[in-house]
Structure 1
Amino acid sequence: MSKRHMKCLAGISVATATALGLAAVPSVASGDSDRVVRPGESIQTAVDAARPGDTVVVLPGTYRESVLITTPGLTLRGTGERTVIVPAAAKGTKAAHACAAGGNGICVIGTKGHTVDDVRIRSLTVSGFDKSGVWASWTDRLSVHGVAARENGTWGIAQERSTRGYFRNNIATGNGDAGVFVANSVTEEGGATDTGGTRIVENSVSGNRIGVTARRVRNLVIDGNTMTGNCSGVFVVGDESKPAAGAMTISGNRILENNKFCPATPRLSAIQGSGIVLTGSEATTVRSNDIRGNVGSTPLSGGILLFKSFVGALNTDNTISENRVRGNKPADLADRDTAGTGNSFVRNTCGTSVPAGMCAG
């Protein structure tokens, strides 16, 4: 049979499956650069053997290990939620590498002088790790797509010291802190870093402490996500260092009933019923979000809040416009950073505001 006929038959098979409503099954060996991992085999062994541009395909099954990626251009691809990565069963043994030692599931780790670029993580579940489901440090153009990060101790999907990340169509649920977390550094103080346009889009984030946290970073987009059942939907954290956090766009998100209660921490008061909170942010645009039913009685409760940073940084030159903000308590809109300057509330559909008069209807 000719190659042309084989391609034709393959196309007919895909079309038939689509017509019957069947899910397409990912190819497990689409090229010489694919390395296939089967249940009982080690993902890490395949990753260590891979070269830039290779794809490691992980077949359905439960894999008890952490995975460290330091090879640029590598794709790690599962087969959807049937590919599950959980912590190793053995306790008390020496961790195989830094990712496992840190309590993380999948790590992409470079260095200040040598970032790990163009890594793609696709279509798998990572669950039950003490720290993060997916952790990245010193990366550029990391892409995480179709990953379910569930019940991890701190963050579901997290990135620090990295640029141009792309996090799309993921599920982050039941994680101890943020479902999706982007920061300048988790170990050092300092001014906000430019993420180069990191995008957090079209994810489903629920049952975490905070849905999406942007901490001491600038130049990113949080768009089209659904956040519900967290203590807070979106939390922007700035401090007194320069440059300030901000220059980001938060748009088109559905932020509904984030009414889980989270007790106070040494750096933050209790959180409940918070839609979007800006602290110490500058030049951030909050536009066209649907924010409803976020109800609580903490200082951070309400639909959209400007709140002075807990280290004293003010909100400046932020624009909150054209949002639909209804049924949030104690208020739909609240500017509680009275010393902040240049902040504007324009054409927002809401019922209550503090101070009064900021709702368009």
Structure 2
Amino acid sequence: MPTRRVHHLAAAIAATTTALTTVLAVLGAAPAHASHSYGSLHVVLPGESIQQAVDAAEPGDTVQLLAGTYPGSVRITTPGLTLRGTGPETVISPAAAPAETVDAATPCAAAGHGLCVAGTDDRPLADVTVEALAVTGFRKNGINATGTTGLTVRATYVHDNGQQGISQEKSTRGVITANESTRNGQSGVFLANSVDSEGGALSTEGTVVSGNRLSDNRIGVTVRRLRDLTIEQNQIHGNCGGVFIVGDEGVPRAGALSVTRNRVEANNRYCPPNPRLDHIQGAGIVLTGAEETTVTENQVRDNVGASPFSGGIVLVHSVVGVANARNTVADNLVLGNGPADVADRDTGTDNSFARNHCAVSEPAGHC
């Protein structure tokens, strides 16, 4: 490699390191896992192929993207890989014309997603990190993960995608933290057992969704048919609905979750009905068909609407009529929501409500 090229890359990497440190400090995120620092570094400049660098990387390597726009989808199948940008100025967006780029031929692009992290049911893809980059403008999901374990998505800016911002299914031990996910067609963060099949809830073995800013989506966070995860300290506002915990008649039931210390405010956009659900507007935290979930120490304010889901913290039976069971709603600050701050519109009789600071409840007595 010519000396000039080496000097150029050294300066660029130094600038990238400084920019990334600043981005992570602003977002309150931890530095990249130390275990990844021992692999090789693959630097990608605008105009070069991210996919080629990812395909050339080995477990433990880092693919470092410099600031700029990178057209085309990217698919990661290498365990222990870190894909890192410099912050929102590193942008992955759709290719202008699929025939013009090899990256557009990936299965990820064919599915309409931006960045795919892809393992299998039999061999989950382990310990991938995606951080400090933007993903925008894709027909379906911005970041789409399936069959992963130990995936970290951190300090990303995922916006204006057609379906989910950050989606994870059939996965365990994930960490989704310090991201901004906005103006996506469905959820800012979407977690599920499977998007295309029925079945009982899967255990995520401790997945954490924390410290994210989720706004102007249909739903801020959707959890569908999962167990054993935590949603904490997120700022969720300006969506049609804030947090939806969704279960049904499948066994095991969805639940054993913690929704705690989130700020869920003014999620008052109007989203029209679809074949499965009534319209959504003014929904703060909604439990439907869930069990053994704790909703504690949240601030839920000014979520107002006239749908079956409207209100601050709402329990309602699932679309197939399954009642919520053995859930706890306690120690929340719930004010200015309508038609009620805390609403139990379900038929279950073993859910508990305690020490909530609120003004109006359905039925009375839950404040």
What TM-score comes out, normalization by structure 1 length? 0.90
Local SS of the residue matching 1:245: coil
Local SS of the residue matching 1:357: coil
> 1: CA distance between counterparts of 2:119 and 2:284?
34
> 2: CA distance between counterparts of 1:300 and 1:312?
15
- Show CA shifts across 1:104-153 (max 9, x none): 11100111111110000010000000111100000000000000100000
Local SS of the residue matching 2:287: strand
Partner of 2:11: none
Q: Hey, which of these two has a bigger chunk of helix by percent? A: 2
| Runs (4+) off by over 3 Å | 91-95
Match status 1:334 vs 2:355: no
1:13-162 equivalences in 2 (<5 Å): 33-91=40-98, 95-162=104-171
Aligned length: 338
Q: How far did 1:341 drift?
A: 2.9
> 2: CA distance between counterparts of 1:101 and 1:295?
39
Change (3 A) 1:268 1:38: same
Query: Aligned letter for 2:42?
Result: R
Q: How far did 1:91 drift?
A: 4.3
Pairing partner for 2:283 from 268, 274, 286? 274
Local SS of the residue matching 1:47: helix
Partner of 1:350: 358
Match status 1:225 vs 2:215: no
> 1: CA distance between counterparts of 2:162 and 2:39?
38
Q: How far did 1:92 drift?
A: 6.6
> 1: CA distance between counterparts of 2:64 and 2:98?
27
Aligned-residue Cα RMSD (Å) equals 2.1
Query: Aligned letter for 1:262?
Result: C
Contact 2:38 2:61 in 1 (8 A): no
- Show CA shifts across 1:268-309 (max 9, x none): 110000000000000000000000000001111000000000
Q: How far did 1:314 drift?
A: 1.0
> 1: CA distance between counterparts of 2:361 and 2:68?
51
What TM-score comes out, normalization by structure 2 length? 0.89
Partner of 2:297: 288
Local SS of the residue matching 2:309: coil
> 2: CA distance between counterparts of 1:358 and 1:120?
42
Query: Aligned letter for 2:57?
Result: A
Q: How far did 1:98 drift?
A: 1.0
Q: Which runs of 5+ in 1 are unaligned?
A: 1-9
Query: Aligned letter for 1:330?
Result: P
Change (3 A) 1:268 1:167: same
Match status 1:316 vs 2:316: no
Local SS of the residue matching 1:211: strand
Change (3 A) 1:47 1:304: same
Partner of 1:5: none
Local SS of the residue matching 2:203: strand
Q: Which runs of 5+ in 2 are unaligned?
A: 1-13
Q: How far did 1:96 drift?
A: 1.2
